[in-house]
A = this chain, B = another copy of it.
């Protein structure tokens, strides 16, 4: 199936994601999208998020909370997951290309990417008011 260069919903889903710094689930995107397209289907959201991530225009994350999350930033970077509030945030760390090269060596196969998730309690949740 050839992909059309233009689809209102897909364009909108992509820019909706691009406008968020958190890492929303399909359901969160769906909630947002209904403001613009009150009749949009959850299936459309899922289909386009998967399509966009297959095309390499967005990234799918699995941080261990059971639901997929999505990230407009396709550049490799590491994430932090707060176990208390569930927030997923980017960390300003340089991805370790050497680590991946080392992993590839010991694996005996070929490695094209890696993911790193840090788990703990975010600044807000560790703060004095909690």
A125 at the interface (CB under 8 A from B): yes
Q: How far is the CA of A106 from the CA of B99 in the complex (A)?
A: 20
Interface-side segment among A18-26, A31-39, A88-96 = A88-96
Contact A116 B119 (CB under 8 A): no
1/0 per residue, CB under 8 A from B, across A65-91: the answer is: 000000000000010101000000101
B93 close to A122 (CB less than 8 A): no
Q: In chain B, what residue has the closest Cβ to A64?
A: B62
6 interchain pairs, CB-CB under 8 A: A62-B63, A91-B103, A93-B103, A96-B99, A110-B126, A111-B120
Chain A positions near chain B (C-beta within 8 angstroms): 60, 62-64, 78, 80, 82, 89, 91-93, 96, 99-100, 102-104, 106-126
